[in-house]
A and B are shown apart, each in its own frame.
Chain A
Amino acid sequence: MRLQYSSNIRIIEMPCSGTIDHRVLLQAFEDGADGVFVAGCMEGDCHFQKGNYRAKKRVNAVKKLLDEIGLGGDRLEMYNLSAAMGPRFAEIANEMTERIRQLGPSPLRKDKAGTSRKEGDVA
């Protein structure tokens, strides 16, 4: 399956979306990511029972925090898909890239000259 998706995505592998921590998400933004999406397993399919549900709660909490601090919660999203859903991954990658393009580059990158362009981080 040779699928194309936006080349500006940097994938960060985590052992489970349930290991996602507020700090990891904020660090991605501090390091210059324009947007971040967390790709967890399908709801109900978590090998560890509730990892993806916990990730969703944390992502929602960080979205709220990003709104409060002025960066905007729209730059972060949680998606659920299985490892066998390649086409859906490509679709999400393109969908998120398009969303972030519309929002524009992260205002945090203005003061960070030379930072390579990163439109999305995937966990």
Chain B
Amino acid sequence: MIIAQQKPIKDIAAMIEDCKKVLLVGCAGCVTVCLSGGEKETEVLASSLRIMRRLQGNPLETVTITATRQCDPEYIEPLENLVKDVDAIISLACGVGVQYLAERFHDKWVVPAQNTMFVGGSRTHGVWEERCGLCGDCILHRTGGICPIIRCSKSILNGPCGGSQYGKCEISKDVDCAWQLIYDRMKALGKLDKLMEIQPPKDWSKSRDGGPRKAIREDVMIG
């Protein structure tokens, strides 16, 4: 899932300081699972902003709704009636949701309540870890299911480097050396020979080096 963290409330309040009525749109997708932008968080943010503004003697009216997903036009279309009489929209989705709302409601001031951080998973309640670098050319079958692109601080493909000490990365004793993990796992699987295979340079054009990406599936297109 996409992991996002709410911006400091003062920053969010500053983005809508001129507004009298705002629509807060939560997202029932990834940000609900990572507990930063679902129904509950949307209502808590609305309440916090209302209290802040009342304390400033400049009351704020809020409307809240949580869309099934903000990254699908069909789920933001029903917001049209709510959007009409608000001065701004605060999106609690990831950056995708903010942009979809801004595109659909192009005459409205749409602001992000979140900082979109990474693609990852839950380690335990309240802890999320980055797991995928979105490189567009997965090599996990060659690295024991451990991604060197995102879990190695330098994203190197031929580690470990000299900064690996006792299984830890030089950037922090709390960060495992991804290449140590890869080596240990491949050894346990009896597949160390796989690491010796010569690989051509990675095709980074499938990653961000190729500019904004688009995925097209003609077989599922309607019409």
Interface of A with B (CB < 8 Å)? 21-23, 26-27, 29-30, 65, 68-71, 107-108, 111
Interface of B with A (CB < 8 Å)? 8-10, 40, 43-44, 47-48, 50-52, 54-55, 57, 59
The answer on a CB contact under 8 Å between B47 and A23 is: yes
Q: Which chain B residues border A30 with CB–CB below 8 Å? A: 47, 50-51
> Shortest CB–CB separation between residue B59 and chain A, in angstroms?
7
Q: Which chain A residues border B57 with CB–CB below 8 Å? A: 111
- Give the interface SS of chain A, mostly helix, strand, loop or mixed: helix
Q: Which chain A residues border B54 with CB–CB below 8 Å? A: 108, 111
16 contacts between A and B (CB under 8 A): A22-B44, A23-B40, A23-B44, A65-B44, A65-B48, A68-B8, A68-B9, A68-B48, A69-B9, A69-B48, A69-B51, A69-B52, A70-B52, A71-B55, A107-B55, A111-B57
Given contacts A27-B47, A65-B48, A69-B9, contact A22 B40 (CB under 8 A): yes
The answer on a CB contact under 8 Å between B44 and A26 is: yes
The answer on a CB contact under 8 Å between A26 and B8 is: no
The answer on a CB contact under 8 Å between B59 and A111 is: yes
The answer on a CB contact under 8 Å between B9 and A65 is: yes
Given contacts A22-B44, A23-B40, contact A68 B51 (CB under 8 A): no
Contact of B40 among A21, A27, A65 (CB under 8 A): A21
The answer on a CB contact under 8 Å between A29 and B9 is: no
Closest to B10 in A: A68
> Shortest CB–CB separation between residue A120 and chain B, in angstroms?
18
Closest to B59 in A: A111
The answer on a CB contact under 8 Å between A26 and B59 is: no
Q: Which chain B residues border A107 with CB–CB below 8 Å? A: 55
> Shortest CB–CB separation between residue A94 and chain B, in angstroms?
27
The answer on a CB contact under 8 Å between B40 and A70 is: no
Q: Which chain B residues border A70 with CB–CB below 8 Å? A: 51-52, 55
Q: Which chain B residues border A69 with CB–CB below 8 Å? A: 9, 48, 51-52, 55
Known: A65-B44, A70-B52. 12 other contacts (CB 8 A): A23-B40, A23-B44, A23-B47, A26-B48, A27-B47, A30-B51, A68-B8, A68-B10, A69-B52, A107-B55, A108-B51, A108-B55
Closest to A70 in B: B55
Cα-based distance from A27 to B8 in the complex (angstroms): 21
Highest count of chain B CB atoms <10 Å: which of A68, A69, A70, A111:
A69
Contact of B47 among A26, A68, A111 (CB under 8 A): A26
> Shortest CB–CB separation between residue A26 and chain B, in angstroms?
4
